[in-house]
Amino acid sequence: MEVSGPDDDPFLAQLHRVQCPVCQQTMPAAHINSHLDRCLLLHPAGHAEPEPGPHGAGEPPKGPVSPRSKRRRLSESSALKQPATPTAAESSEGEGDEADDGGETESRESYDAPPTPSGARLIPDFPGARVGSPAGQGTGDRPAASSAAAAGSASPRSWDEAEAPEEEEAAGDGDADADGEDEPGPWAAAAFGGRAQPRAPAADEVRQMLEGKPLAEKMRPDTLQDYFGQSRALGPESLLRTLLDTSEVPSLILWGPPGCGKTTLAHIIANNSKKHSVRFVTLSATNAKTNDVRDVIKQAQNEKSFFKRKTILFIDEIHRFNKSQQVNAALLSRCRVIVLEKLPVEAMVMILMRAIDSLGIHVLDSSRPADPLSHSSNSTSEPSVLIEDKAVDTLAYLSDGDARTGLSGLQLAVLARLSSRKMFCKKSGQTYSPSRVLITENDVKEGLQRSHVLYDRAGEEHYNCISALHKSLRGSDQNAALYWLARMLEGGEDPLYVARRLVRFASEDIGLADPSALTQAVAAYQGCHFIGMPECEVLLAQCVVYCARAPKSIEVYSAYNNVKACLRNHQGPLPPVPLHLRNAPTRLMKDLGYGKGYKYNPMYNEPVDQEYLPEELRGIDFFKQRRC
């Protein structure tokens, strides 16, 4: 979001009072420059990118820092590196929101799993193998992941090709020792876009590389050169490409399925904008409040006024803002919406290959009867970890266009295999080597399952699946309902989250058509609470089938909504409670007419004719009307 500054008229500037972007004090505009000279020295961290101060560039100040600037600094520095996931509390907040409209708020598109690979080769024919080389430096004939010929990638990538990092060029010329470092650690040297390494890492070294931070995070590209797929949004003729090339980034909404590269594209834009001295601030709607956004905008305006510096504000997960925060129509009318697509299999292969290359893993070519690297000696230039090419294909397919899923699956498959220390055995002509580990197609399938990555608990899948369950129940489809339940539970979903939704469903959709559904659902919730997973899954299954089979009625739910709408739409003060319905515990109240004329129903054998609504609502029937 680019923020425009006011006019630069010096006369007007004299008249205006302005706010210091660093310490937030207001003062006559004429004083701001001398004030800033002092203020920036005193509060270097209050500035988004501190000038070298007494503590050195980028070093935190030793003096006190206001919580506001502290929070801002944190979000600026960390949000891009750490894609935000909602906390449990935030998740249940979201759940509350959904409940308000009957679970309709999670009406996002679902992205179904792709067909299982048939076993045919799925990727462009990679004719050979590469040994532990970073992109662009393979000795074999399997193309580097970052090849410009990458299928599905937007090309030419003029914007970044012109500014490709020097390190990659160094890697490309094969001079592994160009930096003159002595025996660099395998990871420090080779992984994740660093310089070429002199030797293939040993299995233990590969494991160390994979431990800790998620592989998807480590592999997040910094430049468009390593950004694959999305040719429609980023192709040479596209608007976004033109704007990026000229560094004119308008307000954008990046829209697309999970793991297709929205945050990554923003990260690349951020990198590019730094080169053009544009300030880039990141917030995540999972934890930012409207006030945080206001703060950033205010600061951006000041930056523009005083330093002629533009700001790009990136708000990740903007759909997590509630409706009033999003101000949907107003937001949309000010933004260009760029639709990113599920990554095609070819792009997924390139993304996986880039990671595999970085890890120094060798890809076994199944089309060759004996891999040239399969001899038994184990010199340091040979790979210790190998992966079947069909394992890469399968992973690319099963990831369903979600690069995070693919990279996490790869990470877990390799880690699991390395941990179990199963050695590379003689297989289709390969010679046994006790120091090698082979990652098979089955390993990657297990890797995907083990990590539950096919079901993203914190993200879209969580909402998509609970929505599918709710709708299957509403449609009385017990079969589908059980399927969605199992998909969530097998994916690691919190059983209590599902149970809470069933309690809600029992009242909202079954209601008085079968009041005991609510009892069943509450009992299932308590049962889950007592015994936990995996035992409680059958309780939920029973309750799901009960709810699917039960008759449905939204009578109470919609009548209650009518009442709420009536109250919300009421103009002026609410009507007084009719006097005859008021309790009259004191003499004075009685004298004022409280309780007067009230007919105590048990005293009558016949139906009592008495009004219970305020006078101005007489005749209204919330059970018949759609809205008051």
Ligand X SMILES: Nc1ncnc2c1ncn2[C@@H]1O[C@H](COP(=O)(O)OP(=O)(O)OP(=O)(O)O)[C@@H](O)[C@H]1O
Whose Cβ is closer to ligand X: residue 203's or residue 233's? 233
The verdict on 261 binding ligand X (CB under 6 A) reads yes
Confirm or reject binding of residue 249 to ligand X (CB under 6 A): no
Among 351, 361, 540, 543, binds ligand X (CB under 6 A): 351
The residue among 399 and 562 lying less far from ligand X, judged by its C-beta, is 399
Our CB check for ligand X shows the closer of 214 and 595 to be: 214
Contacting range for ligand X; rule: CB under 6 A; set: 35-43, 189-197, 253-261, 560-568: 253-261
Using rule CB under 6 A, residue 463 touches ligand X = no
Identify the three-state secondary structure at position 361: coil
Helices and strands of the chain, counted as H and E runs: 26, 9
Q: Is 83 in the site for ligand X (CB under 6 A)?
A: yes
**SS3 of residue 408 by DSSP:** helix
CA-based angle 111:112:114, to the nearest 5? 120
Answer for which of 159, 228, 280, 463 binds ligand X (CB under 6 A) is: 228
Q: Does 94 engage in binding with ligand X (CB under 6 A)?
A: no
263 in contact with ligand X (CB under 6 A): yes
Structure tokens, 602: 């048990």
- Distance (Å, whole) CA 549 – CA 571: 43
* Per-position x/- string for 365-404, each x denoting binding to ligand X as judged by CB under 6 A, each - no binding: --------------------------------------xx
Under the binding rule (CB under 6 A), the answer on residue 221 touching ligand X is: yes
Which of 229, 447, 491, 527 binds ligand X (CB under 6 A)? It is 229
Written as one letter, the residue type at 425 is: C
Look up residue 253 and give its amino acid.
Answer: I
CA distances from 311 to 247, 563, 620 (A): 12, 46, 54
Give the count of alpha carbons within 13 A of 38, CB side only.
Answer: 7
**Minimum distance, C-beta of residue 164 to ligand X, in the bound complex (Å):** 16
Instruction: Find the binder of ligand X among 146, 230, 472, 558 (CB under 6 A).
Output: 230
487 touches ligand X (CB under 6 A): no
What secondary structure does DSSP assign to 55-124, as a single string? Answer: T-TTPPPSS---HHHHHHHHHHHHTTTS-----HHHHHHHHHHHHHTTTGGG-----PPPPPP-SS--SS
Give the interface segment with ligand X, choosing from 49-57, 128-136, 252-260, 329-337 (CB under 6 A).
Answer: 252-260
Residue nearest to ligand X (CB): 261
- Candidates 122, 260, 413, 539; binder of ligand X (CB under 6 A) is 260
Q: How far is the CB of 1 from ligand X (least distance, A)?
A: 18
Q: Are 305 and 6 in contact (CB under 8 A)?
A: yes
- Give the helix/strand (H/E) hosting 386: strand 385-388
Which of residues 223 and 472 has its CB atom nearest to ligand X in the complex? 223
**40 binds ligand X per the rule CB under 6 A:** no
Query: How far is 576 from 568, CA to CA, in rounded Å?
Result: 16
Query: Do 398 and 114 contact (CB within 8 A), yes or no?
Result: yes
Q: In three state form, how does the secondary structure of 29-66 look?
A: HHHHHHHHHHHHHHCHHHCCCCCCCCCCCCCCCCCCCC
Taking Cα atoms as reference points, which of 333, 415, 412, 316 lies closest to residue 84?
Answer: 316
Tell me the C-alpha distance between 619 and 264, whole Å: 59
Q: Which of 97, 217, 245, 494 binds ligand X (CB under 6 A)?
A: 217
Q: Interface with ligand X by CB under 6 A: which range of 100-108, 212-220, 300-308, 619-627?
A: 212-220
The answer to whether residue 360 forms part of the interface with ligand X (CB under 6 A) is: no
**DSSP-based three-state secondary structure for 589:** helix
Q: How far is the CB of 171 from ligand X (least distance, A)?
A: 18
Closest to ligand X by CB, 190 or 216: 216
What is the SS3 assignment for 253? strand
Query: In terms of DSSP bridges, do strands 17-19 and 26-28 run parallel, antiparallel, or are they unpaired?
Result: antiparallel
Assigned token pair, 276:
């053009």
Name the residue nearer to ligand X (CB basis): 176 or 350: 350
Question: In terms of CB distance, is 2 or 217 closer to ligand X?
Answer: 217
**Smallest gap, in angstroms, from Cβ of residue 153 to ligand X?**
8
C-beta of 94 vs 261, nearer to ligand X: 261
Binding-site size for ligand X (CB under 6 A) equals 25
Is position 318 an interface residue for ligand X (rule: CB under 6 A)?
A: no
Rounded-to-integer distance, Cα 294 and Cα 156, Å: 38
Choose between 352 and 540: whose C-beta lies nearer to ligand X: 352
| 216 is a contact residue toward ligand X (CB under 6 A) | yes
Kindly state the smallest distance separating residue 293's Cβ from ligand X, in Å: 19
CB of 338 to ligand X, least distance (A): 12
The pair of three-digit structure tokens given for residue 379, joined into one six-digit string: 């010199």
Q: How far is the CB of 336 from ligand X (least distance, A)?
A: 17
Binding span for ligand X by CB under 6 A among 74-82, 144-152, 228-236, 554-562: 228-236
Cβ–Cβ under 8 Å, residues 347 and 228: yes
Q: Does position 136 bind ligand X by CB under 6 A?
A: no
CA distance 239 to 614: 59
Name the residue type at position 476: S
Least Cβ distance, residue 326 to ligand X (angstroms)? 16
Query: CB within 8 A of 552, min separation 6: which ones?
Result: 474, 476, 509, 510, 511, 513
Nearest to ligand X of 220, 362 (CB atom)? 220
DSSP state of 195: P
Q: Which is nearer to ligand X, 249 or 403 (CB)?
A: 403
Nearer to ligand X, 137 or 411 (CB): 411
Give the amino acid at 353. Answer: M
Q: Among residues 82 and 242, whose Cβ is nearest to ligand X? A: 82
| CB closer to ligand X out of 210 and 539 | 210
- Identify which of residues 461 and 508 has a Cβ nearer to ligand X in the complex: 461
Lookup: tokens for 220: 């997040």
Structure tokens, 285? 């709607």
Please give the helix or strand (H or E) that residue 315 lies within, else none: strand 311-316
Residues that bind ligand X (CB under 6 A): 83, 216-217, 219-221, 226-230, 256, 258-264, 343, 351, 403-404, 407, 459
